[in-house]
Amino acid sequence: MPELPEVETTRRGIAPHVEGREIVEAIVRQPRLRVPVPEDFIDRLVGSRIGSIARRAKYLLLSIEGGCEEEGAGTLIWHLGMSGSLRIARLGELPKKHDHVDLVFDDGAILRYHDPRRFGFVDWLAGSAERDPRLANLGPEPLSDAFDGERLYRLSRGRRMAVKPFLMDNAVVVGVGNIYASEALFLAGIDPRRAAGRISLERYARLAAAVREVLAAAITQGGTTLRDFVSGTGEPGYFKQRLNVYGRHGQGCRRCNGELRLVTLGQRASVFCPICQK
């Protein structure tokens, strides 16, 4: 599944090609996504202009200015699901299987949504996006000043759940998925099985710093290449070359050369070093 760095890489990749551009055509080849494409999708968008593209957690938010209808202004909320991607194509490039939605712009660029599993969606939001229930109760962004070790420590008091699923809770902090939670816990030296409520403020400060470090590095390197992910311009990510634990169970730890172990926490596979992580 594309995680926060992959979504941010997509945002940065497509923004220069679509911000400020007029939508001259909208094509929906497959409306039956996880959330059905709105019936008035085409009518709302043709003749409108993309303002800015923002990201909130793993959602992309495309502000829409004007349009064919007076109430055309609003926001497109886009989620890539398990295997979705947004890429820039050009007029004349034939769509492939699973290319479900196109936005065609006045300069010939096409924003093309590809999703083999159809677990993603694009939806229309009228008014403020922050009031949408999918966004309203999310925690802070992990690279913002609102996220720190004190927040983790405060919210974890009395919690018996393991620290890894606690860190992956979007009400605690958004966008720290399975890959990057595993990597941050390794950098901080924390066993992912440890009860969240039994970790000190000092260790949570190290964990928050590790989350920032691993996410910033992944964004810089274009995300992590898994089976399906490519950036908005069609390039793969390269952070996978630097993974310390994720996907490496049974191999040697890069620090101590001890064997990495695999456990299941919150129905997700978790790899850690039993020597380096306590």
Please confirm, yes or no, whether 58 is among the known catalytic residues: yes
Q: How many other β-carbons are positioned within 10 Å of the β-carbon of residue 266? A: 15
First to last CA, the chain: 28
Residue 125: which H helix or E strand, with range? strand 121-125
Catalytic position from the list 65, 141, 268, 274:
268
Binding-site members for DNA are: 98, 117, 159
Tokens in use for 34? Answer: 């996880």
Could you tell me if 9 and 233 are in contact, meaning their C-beta atoms sit under 8 angstroms apart?
A: no
Options 2, 5, 142, 192, the catalytic residue: 2
Point out the catalytic residue in the list 3, 6, 8, 183. Answer: 3
**Crossing angle of helices 201-220 and 178-188, rounded to 10°:** 130
Q: Which two tokens stand for residue 169?
A: 């809770």
How large is the angle between the packed helices 201-220 and 149-156, nearest 10 degrees?
Answer: 130
C-alpha to C-alpha distances, 75 to 25, 35, 99, nearest whole angstrom? 17, 15, 22
What is the β-pairing status of strands 99-105 and 49-56?
unpaired
CB 28 within 8 A of CB 42: yes
Binding-site residues, please?
Answer: 98, 117, 159
- Helices 4-18, 201-220: axis angle to 10 degrees equals 40
Q: Is residue 28 a contact partner of residue 37, using CB atoms and an 8 Å limit?
A: yes
* Residue of 44, 58, 87, 164 marked catalytic: 58
Q: What are phi and psi of 130, to 5 degrees?
A: -65, -20
User: How distant is the alpha carbon of residue 74 from its chain centre?
Assistant: 22
Active site residue 87: no
Catalytic annotation present for 130: no
Cα 63 to chain centroid distance, Å, stands at 18
- Active site amino acids: 2-3, 58, 268
